Amino acid sequence: MADAVSLKNQGNDAFKQKDWSGAIDYYTKAIELNDKEPSFYTNRAQANIKLEAYGYAIADASKAIEIDPNFAKAYYRRAVANTLILKHSDAIHDWKAVVRKNPADKVAKAQYEACQKMVKRDAFLKAIEIADAPSAAVGLDLENMIVEDSYDGVRLKDEMTQEFLDDMIERFKTGKKLHRKYVFQIILAVKALVYDEATMVETEVAPDHMLTVCGDTHGQYFDLLEIFRLNGFPSQKHGYLFNGDFVDRGSWSTEIALLLYAYKMMYPKFFFLNRGNHETDDMNRMYGFEGECKAKYNERVFKLFSESFSALPLATLIGSKYLTLHGGLFSDDAITLDDIRKLNRHNQRQPGQAGLMMEMLWTDPQTTPGRGPSKRGVGLQFGPDVTKRFCEKNGLEAVIRSHEVRMEGYEVEHDGRCITVFSAPKYCDSTENKGAYINIESDYKLQFNKFDAVPHPDIKPMAYANNSMMSMM
């Protein structure tokens, strides 16, 4: 027991240093020496929550409850994890248990009340859901919308211009906003562009051209600009593919979304956007993008963004060699590229809890063969044998995906056939990771580039998320 406690304490030290993976290793070793101490499991659960491995956190908390049904911290951890994956109906029972066991815990009581509201809200939204709801653009008279003389930015006409882009970049650096007319105009233009693209866009890299693949940017605007500073701004000869999760968590999500959309307007054939699991309504309500849209613009802006997100392609095939999608591979070996091509994403605005779209946005690789339950509590995990079979069956060199922090910004797994790229360095100001991007020229060799986070104004991540979420992060 003394050795186990020593390992737990080393795990606590690693946790304080924000070394979540190191902390998990120590807690796991402590559990191997003594698997009857519930606090070892709840500590590991908290580290898993930091790594967004909510499914693992739920499993650890459940084990702690099995050992000690009166251990309030275990119910708390499980409630947090279920809340963070939007399983409010599951979370509410644990919040209630925490309040019952610790009636003086004001934080738990507030979380319980917030969860009750979320359950009611979810039920209300489901009840009023309309399959073919009218667009938020109905009644929006852009042609006659006045841009006041006091607006100090460059004016936008029918086509995106470099002058407008340059001005936009500088405005956002200094905390200024675009005029609402231009926000509406950009979102509607890009919604129309991406709606007409295939569910799996197929592109080639021509001689003397380059395509850069970026992973999650998560509202970290100043780190996005660092990519462009280091690697070059988009142009007709230098295309970019942003592989989902542009928004949420970071507090400049509207700035990133609008800048990426403006580049899509400027270079529609050379600038590509894949949908991520955070380009969805339920995640945007929880993790800040909805709140940010309302704070900086208005609710209609969020609704139009939501419509445009549901129109985004789900994958991009680069040179018939690299399938690029946000999450990963599938629960069924029978799925092929043709199944992605045939998928009508416009029939299903949100990914739901099952099916091809959900798996493309949510799944993760694992080191062991076969398939396993998701560490996130949503989707599944796939092993190197699954990746090998998929690549061989579809004539691919590799699958490029994002969706997960990697400490070096990228990781090559599954014998080189599964590549993760993540482009939000020092993620949420709390993880000491680098960012990365991949350059691909006409020889289709992958060139990996790492970069560090840059300073940003003193606005914390999740500044626009709901208050109950902030207290759990």
Active site residues: 278
Say how many C-beta atoms besides its own lie within 10 A of residue 116's C-beta. Answer: 14
Instruction: Let me know: does 83 contact 91? Beta carbons within 8 Å.
Output: yes
CA gap 59, 192 in Å, rounded: 43
User: What tokens does 414 get?
Assistant: 């599954």
CA gap 116, 92 in Å, rounded: 7
Instruction: Let me know: does 407 contact 379? Beta carbons within 8 Å.
Output: no
Instruction: Let me know: does 77 contact 377? Beta carbons within 8 Å.
Output: no
Q: Which phi and psi angles does 329 have, rounded to 5°? A: -90, -170
CA gap 370, 399 in Å, rounded: 17
Coil vs helix vs strand at 411: strand
DSSP string, 220-277: -HHHHHHHHHHH----SSEEEEEES--SSSSS-HHHHHHHHHHHHHH-TTTEEEE--T
CA gap 71, 305 in Å, rounded: 43
One-letter amino acid for residue 379 of the chain: G
Surface-to-core class of residue 198, CB atoms within 10 Å of its CB (0-12 exposed, 13-18 middle, 19+ buried): middle
b/e sequence 157-179, b meaning 16+ C-beta within 10 Å:
eeebeeebbebbbebbeeeeebb
Angle at 418 between CA 412 and CA 424, to 5 degrees: 65
CA gap 117, 124 in Å, rounded: 10
CA gap 118, 262 in Å, rounded: 34
User: What tokens does 212 get?
Assistant: 């850069």
Length of the chain: 473
User: What tokens does 224 get?
Assistant: 């996005």
Reported as type and span, the H/E element at residue 447 is strand 446-451
